[in-house]
Structure 1
């Protein structure tokens, strides 16, 4: 079931009116894409947040613009750096039968052997670009790292077969690796010659 989000067309991009819209709990937005002219709209902030929680970052939304419904995905958004509130949103109208590109976050799962042995996990790729039909784009790609030992890596080529979507990265691109533990200085190590001379000078 596709979630419905109501929208209203707006006729002005004047700063004063955009500020007033936000103060009243709205978000200025725009629609473009499949069989759609660039159309400025406004949406309710609370309804937008509720919808995105339900469908996820890459979910398909039925955008109801004053009675006209369009299948859209959230393409981009702008956020206030201080309040952490969405202040503008771009919706891409999509043809459900045609593939599109989307950014999908990478989630690591499992307890890596190398970490248990003292290694340090380093995630290189936090997001991948995929191509798929709008309703087949996953919210996240899960990568099992439980078998990784110290000095080992997992790459795109090792997970590609787990998904029917196209992952637009080279096979040898590293997703995560286990680094060797840092060598700490042993306690009780003999002081260097320079340190011994400094200590002697201080005592004199």
Structure 2
């Protein structure tokens, strides 16, 4: 009887130890994946900030051109102010927060695009070295934004896939910091095919 009782105790202790080890390993992996997302989010914010920092230089360069549309410049300035005012908590990167951030950034992007289209009517402005350099920097920054957003989505995918697998989802749901993270999505309306009419 004593021998059977001791075997039962050892089995229970070993089972508890294995469960504890598995929970610890799962928790630590979730922490690592979560930190990877926060690091990548910092990179995303960094490249968006770079774009926001280029906007005042672009506006000042364009402002120097006589008779330029002030309304367009004001829209760019207002969009930049909105885009730089939004702050997302890296511990709460849910889909709603990411979409809110993305909408604000798209507003700035649309304003800059409108500005660049209008500049096409000002050949003397387009030919200045300052404007040309700023336009090249903006194009490079847009490419960086795309790269960092893709990397962020990859990190989110790794985290969400890991956390949602059974039985890891049980551990994930015990801790609020391991909630499912949101993705950057394609621009609203980008799924529509553009209509080209040469008439």
Q: Please, what TM-score do these two structures have when normalized by structure 2?
A: 0.20
Which structure has more helix as a fraction of its residues? Answer: 2
Larger RCO, structures 1/2 (Cα 8 Å, 6+ apart): 2
Q: Please, what TM-score do these two structures have when normalized by structure 1?
A: 0.20
